Amino acid sequence: MKRDHWVIREWAPNATEMFLVGEFNGWKESEQYRFASSGDWGCLELALPKGAIEHLDHYLLKLRWNGGEGLRIPAFCRYVVQDPETNLFSAQVWQPDHPYKFRNPSPPADREMFIYEAHIGMAQEEEKVGTFAEFTDNILPKVAAAGYNTLELMAVMNHPYYGSFGYHVSNFFSIASRFGTPF
**Segment 96-113 mean pLDDT:** 80
d(CA 119, CA 73): 25
Write b or e for each residue in 3-15: b if 16 or more Cβ atoms lie within 10 A of its Cβ, otherwise e: eeebebbbebeeb
- pLDDT of 94 over the 70 cut: yes
d(CA 137, CA 124): 11
**Segment 32-54 mean pLDDT:** 91
Each residue's pLDDT tens digit, 60-71: 999 999 999 999
Alpha helix segments (H runs only) across 7-112: none
User: What region does 120 belong to: left with phi over 0, alpha with psi -120 to 50, or beta?
Assistant: alpha
Q: Name which residue leads in pLDDT, 171 or 93.
A: 93
pLDDT averaged over the chain? 87
> Can you give the residue ranges of every domain in the chain?
5-92, 115-179
Q: What CATH superfamily is the domain 5-92?
A: Immunoglobulins (2.60.40.10)
Q: Name which residue leads in pLDDT, 114 or 45.
A: 45
d(CA 72, CA 40): 21
Amino acid at 136: T
pLDDT of residue 183: 64
- pLDDT of 1 over the 70 cut: no
pLDDT of residue 18: 97
Each residue's pLDDT tens digit, 74-86: 988 888 998 889 9
Residue 81 near residue 179 (C-beta atoms within 8 A): no
